[in-house]
Amino acid sequence: MDSAYQVFNGLVQRFPDDPVFRYHYALTLTQKGQKEQAKNELAVALSKNPSNDLRRSIQTTLADIHK
């Protein structure tokens, strides 16, 4: 999990406008228990014009975090 966190953190830094990387980074944050930061990353991912499928995944993940 830490390696995935490091990889996606680096990708988000290099490609801040890529919603796919932000989504996967948010998933790693969720697994690490950093839910507030994950919600922020998901919100940013939604603002980066994700595909319809990715938008649904982001929204589902946001709903799961709020449970």
- What is the rounded distance in angstroms from the CA atom of residue 43 to the CA atom of residue 7? 20
For the full predicted model, state whether its pTM sits above 0.85. yes
Number of domains in the chain: 1
- Per-residue pLDDT of 47-57, as tens digits, reads 999 999 999 99
Cα 66 to Cα 30, 31, 48, 60, 61: the distances in Å are: 11, 14, 22, 10, 9
User: 30: domain range?
Assistant: 2-65
Q: Which two tokens stand for residue 3?
A: 């390696």
- Per-residue pLDDT of 4-59, as tens digits, reads 999 999 999 999 999 999 999 999 999 999 999 999 999 999 999 999 999 999 99
